[in-house]
Amino acid sequence: MTNANGKFAAKKFDRRTVLAGAAAIGTLAAPGLGRAQTPTIKVGVLHPVTGALAFSGGQARQGAVLAIEDINARGGIRSMGGARLEALLADAQSRPDVGAAEVDKLNEAGAVAIVGPFASGIALATTQAAARHNLPHIVDVGVVDQIVTRGLTNTFRFGPGIGTIVDTALENLVRINDQAGKPTKTVMIVHEESAFGTGMATTLNQRLPQLGFEVMETIRHANPTRDFSNIVLRIQARKPDLIIPSNYYDEYVLFARALQQNRVQTKGIYSILGGGASSYRFVKEFPQAADLVMDCNHWFDPRKAASLALKNRIEAQGLFFTYEVFLAYSCMLLLADAIERARSTDKAAVTAALAASTFSDHIMPYGPTRFVNGQNQGARPVVTQVQQRDIKLIFPVEFASGNPVFPRPVGRG
Amino acid sequence: MIEFQILLPSIVNGLTLGAVYALVALGLTLIYGVLHIINFAHGSLLMAALYAAFFAHEALGLDPYLAMPLLAAAFFMVGYALQRWVIGKASHGKDQNVLLVTLGISIAIENLALYLFRADTRTIETPISYEMLDLGIALVPYPRAIGFVAALGIAALLWWTIERTDLGRAIRAVAKERQGAKLVGIDVDHVFALSFGIGTAVLGAAACLLLPSFYVSPGVGNVFVLVAFTVVVLGGMGSFTGALVGGLAIGVTESVGGLFLGQQLGQLGIFVIFILLLLFRPTGLFGSRLA
């Protein structure tokens, strides 16, 4: 500070005043120094929260953050003196290259492990980037099987892969069809253009004829698709018994609305990882179009009190309880359990603890966790059906909250 | 072949889809015609208008079609203010600066929407959402049919405004010769802002017509704006007739292309047209009417 003459303004301080002031400033700047410090453990929460996948990424982040809140509220990591988890939030911007770069940053920032990154394409890049740092990476959502077949020892996928999902979907489709007296013989597949939709369609085209279904046509559409009228025209002309859609939420909504507008009559809609069919938002906003739609997808265990409690919390925040939320939530619990048993933030120790995990205190219908080459062997999808404006779990029977309604009664759908 | 059985309905679908493209392109072409700038914020402003229509429906219970005049007026003011006090001021009269400023506005609006509304996709149901108009050769959803008629009406209204009113004469004068217009007493900055305002008002109307058959999310502007740019180039920059015809042509190309080449390759046709036009007729089908 200078005075009008350009010289420093003199103000008399004695030594005691200076020391007292310094002590006061020190206290203000570091209020926690006066009490015992709770150690913190940094965990990376990496999702695409901007860009095309922002909705799903945001949902997944919310699930992971809620899990961290719950873990800390329960006393943190007890084996490490109640250490609290601290989320290092990262945005993959819906791009694999950005996701990989974020992994490097998270590693620099001291993350002990990463949970994320929602999408298969991003997961392929982030798991590889994490492997360079020997950083444990739990994949919450990402169904492409290459994620766990490249020999990356740091990578653990808690949910099921596409192979398991398609197997389960077809097994249950045959069962539902047989129980109803085999009303379905012909199928049309409508899928989105990425690796996820295209890979699924290829597998379905190979498997469905072996199971006695005729695939009348397979239609691939772009992301985004602005208009489904032509696709619906083709469906009306072909008159398949069953439609199998596999696409993201926005396209699923437009497709379902176009089907409803054109009064397309089929014996059923059986989605596999359908973008909207297992979404409470879809059911709420399109009750007519959603009625009796079936979907093979990720789903929580409706028998567990913790599942319903989390659902209520999410809905109280004005959010929808989607699979991104409960999978990311469970993955963060899985990581906390591994750190608890590792008693260390050493990456190798956490990786070893994950590999040996038998974690069962999650909210998915998986049973105890058991990783083989990074894939949780108990992970499996379920089949849901929209009934009376609610989503009922119809298969597997041990978790079921409703019975399948198939074929759709004439006039519904 | 199944493609020929459904060819006519597919063309009708293409026309109604093209009307939506034309609606989005009309404002873009007006702004280009007068200001000679490509408005990168067009898609973001469409998204903002869709959110406005959505919340007018959800919070106030306003039917999107009834909300159309209100939203058009509101977005006229938004557009006017943006050009007069943000784009005009920040660009310092340089076209390249305008491009950057509109790009910046676009990024700001998109991220603001992401922050305020999250990335959630939102839709509305209206009493006519599932009603179909039987044209004999095809069934058309009512929201699409209304959008088609409204696109024709809005294009005609814009044409009449530009060709038959004093405001239109002033706009044309500014578009053709800024200095000359200034010399005869036209407030050029005001006319610029009016043009930007009208272009943005059209987006307000377009959003009301689009929302009943589409959805809104922070990234929704990108779904349409790239096609709208193609429509403007196809029709001729600054031409309303061109935007209308271009929109319909692109809609039919996408629809029929999708029918014969597959849904994915159908969209390819749009950009093939774009490249061919740039190569062989860079002024577009109807040239530049305003400039």
Amino acid (one-letter) located at A266: T
Per the document, the length of chain B is: 291
Facing residue for A229 by CB, picked from B13, B121, B262:
B13
ipTM: 0.81
Q: Which residue of A has its CA nearest to B17?
A: A227
pLDDT digits (tens, 9 = 90+) for A265-306: 899 999 998 867 788 888 988 888 889 999 999 999 988 899
What is the arithmetic mean of pLDDT over A358-366?
94
The pLDDT value recorded for residue B288 is 54
Its sign, for the CA torsion B26, A249, A99, A39, is positive
On the question of pLDDT at B282 being above 90, the answer is no
Sequence ranges of chain A with CATH classification 3.40.50.2300: 40-160+302-376, 163-297+382-399
Backbone angles phi, psi at A84, to 5 degrees: -95, 145
The pLDDT value recorded for residue B274 is 82
More confident residue, A126 or B123: A126
Q: How many CB pairs under 8 A join A and B?
A: 91
More confident residue, A189 or A278: A189
The pLDDT value recorded for residue B49 is 97
Residues facing residue A272 across a β-bridge = A296
HSE value, Cβ hemisphere, 13 Å, CA-based, for A248: 20
- Contacts of residues A126-133 at CB distance under 8 Å and 24 or more positions apart, as own/partner, are A126/A46, A126/A92, A126/A96, A126/A99, A126/A100, A126/A102, A127/A152, A127/A154, A127/A155, A128/A100, A128/A152, A129/A99, A129/A100, A129/A101, A129/A103, A129/A104, A130/A103, A130/A154, A130/A155, A131/A155, A133/A103, A133/A104, A133/A107, A133/A347
CATH 1.10.3470 fits B2-119+134-280, yes or no: yes
The pLDDT value recorded for residue A36 is 54
Facing residue for A220 by CB, picked from B2, B13, B262:
B262
Strand, coil or helix: what is B289? coil
Facing residue for A238 by CB, picked from B2, B123, B130:
B2
The pLDDT value recorded for residue A1 is 36
Q: A260, B130: Cβ pair inside 8 Å?
A: yes
pLDDT digits (tens, 9 = 90+) for B104-155: 999 999 999 988 988 888 888 888 888 889 988 888 999 999 999 999 999 9
User: Do residues A126 and A100 make contact, with C-beta atoms less than 8 angstroms apart?
Assistant: yes
Burial level of B74, CB count in 10 A (0-12/13-18/19+)? Answer: middle
Backbone angles phi, psi at B58, to 5 degrees: -75, -45
The pLDDT value recorded for residue A411 is 63
pLDDT digits (tens, 9 = 90+) for B52-78: 999 999 999 999 999 999 999 999 999
CA distances from A61 to A87, A112, A116, B184 (A): 10, 17, 8, 60
On the question of pLDDT at A413 being above 70, the answer is no
CA distances from A6 to A11, A333, B154 (A): 15, 62, 68
Pairing of strands A114-116, A137-139: parallel
Residues facing residue A47 across a β-bridge = A91
Closest alpha carbon to B41 in B67, B92, B75: B75
User: Do residues A214 and A207 make contact, with C-beta atoms less than 8 angstroms apart?
Assistant: no
Residues of A with CB under 8 A from a CB of B: 49-52, 54-55, 57-58, 193, 219-222, 224-227, 229-231, 233-234, 236-238, 249-250, 253-254, 257, 260-262, 281, 285-286, 288
The pLDDT value recorded for residue A412 is 54
Q: Which CATH class is domain A163-297+382-399?
A: alpha beta
HSE value, Cβ hemisphere, 13 Å, CA-based, for B262: 12
Per the document, the length of chain A is: 413
Pick the CATH number of A40-160+302-376 from 3.40.50.150, 1.10.132.20, 3.40.50.2300, 3.40.605.10: 3.40.50.2300
Q: Where are the domains of chain B?
A: 2-119+134-280
On the question of pLDDT at A25 being above 80, the answer is no
Q: How far is A6 from chain B (nearest CA, A)?
A: 38
